[in-house]
């Protein structure tokens, strides 16, 4: 809701200078839909160690994790995933399970995915187009936990402002970076400084 002194002011998002409540509601609904469309969650999903799988991600239209959980993680509880991973990776199991659960349950169709490919390769930007799937015989070895992606474009690393490059550089396989609106402006909408 806008501040009291701006309510009903022409030009204020979602408000109308008309006294017709119907027009105001219709405009507010349209503005909200546009805002929700623009505010899709942005995820950074790394392409393996050193981003070595970025071109494979692009070529195959996927993102995923090489977490060594043997089976469909959407059908397993967090405890079952941690227990299975603890057999071979006792220290890393809780973290790996959390990353896998994030890919399975938090990432959504239409969310934006950003995959750094390295300084020279730039950053791939796409849209999640499919639900989580387990592939027991993946085209990329060990990338059994996947989601489909429509890769839209690539952004050169050096054209991204320094603060946003830092937001894309956390050393974890999957995360929701801060500065969602600024990242959307630069990576999705193409509003890069000249």
- Note whether residue 1 is domain-resident: no
What's the domain count of the chain? 1
Q: What average pLDDT score do residues 62-87 get? A: 96
CATH number, domain containing residue 134: 3.10.590
Q: Which domain holds residue 96?
A: 41-188
Strand 42-45 to strand 112-116: parallel, antiparallel, or no bridges (unpaired)?
Answer: parallel
How far is it, in rounded angstroms, from Cα 127 to Cα 124? 10
- Note whether residue 184 is domain-resident: yes
Give this prediction's pTM. Answer: 0.78
pLDDT given for residue 111 in this prediction: 97
- Note whether residue 23 is domain-resident: no
- Note whether residue 5 is domain-resident: no
- Note whether residue 162 is domain-resident: yes
User: Of all residues in the chain, what percent carry a pLDDT higher than 90?
Assistant: 71
- pLDDT tens for each residue of 110-130: 999 999 987 788 999 999 999
The pair of three-digit structure tokens given for residue 31, joined into one six-digit string: 């503005």
**Is 3's pLDDT higher than 70?**
no
pLDDT given for residue 189 in this prediction: 84
- Note whether residue 147 is domain-resident: yes
**Is 13's pLDDT higher than 70?**
no
- Note whether residue 53 is domain-resident: yes
- Note whether residue 105 is domain-resident: yes
Q: How buried is 61 (Cβ within 10 angstroms: 0-12 exposed, 13-18 middle, 19+ buried)?
A: middle
């Amino acid at each position: 809701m806008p501040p009291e002194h701006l309510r009903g002011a022409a030009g204020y998002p979602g408000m109308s200078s008309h006294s017709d409540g119907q027009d105001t509601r219709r405009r507010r609904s349209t503005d909200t839909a546009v805002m929700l469309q623009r505010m899709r969650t942005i995820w950074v999903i790394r392409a393996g160690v050193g981003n070595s799988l970025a071109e494979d991600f692009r070529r195959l239209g996927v993102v995923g994790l090489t977490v060594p959980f043997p089976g469909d993680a959407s059908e397993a509880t967090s405890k079952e995933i941690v227990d299975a991973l603890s057999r071979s990776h006792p220290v890393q199991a809780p973290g790996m399970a959390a990353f896998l659960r994030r890919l399975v349950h938090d990432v959504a169709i239409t969310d934006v995915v950003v995959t750094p490919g390295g300084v020279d390769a730039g950053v791939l930007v796409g849209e999640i187009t499919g639900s989580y799937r387990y592939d027991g015989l993946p085209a990329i070895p060990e990338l059994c936990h996947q989601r489909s992606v429509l890769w839209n474009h690539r952004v050169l690393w050096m054209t991204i402002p320094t603060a946003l490059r830092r937001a894309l550089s956390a050393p974890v396989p999957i995360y929701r970076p801060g500065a969602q609106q600024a990242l959307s402006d630069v990576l999705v909408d193409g509003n890069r400084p000249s």
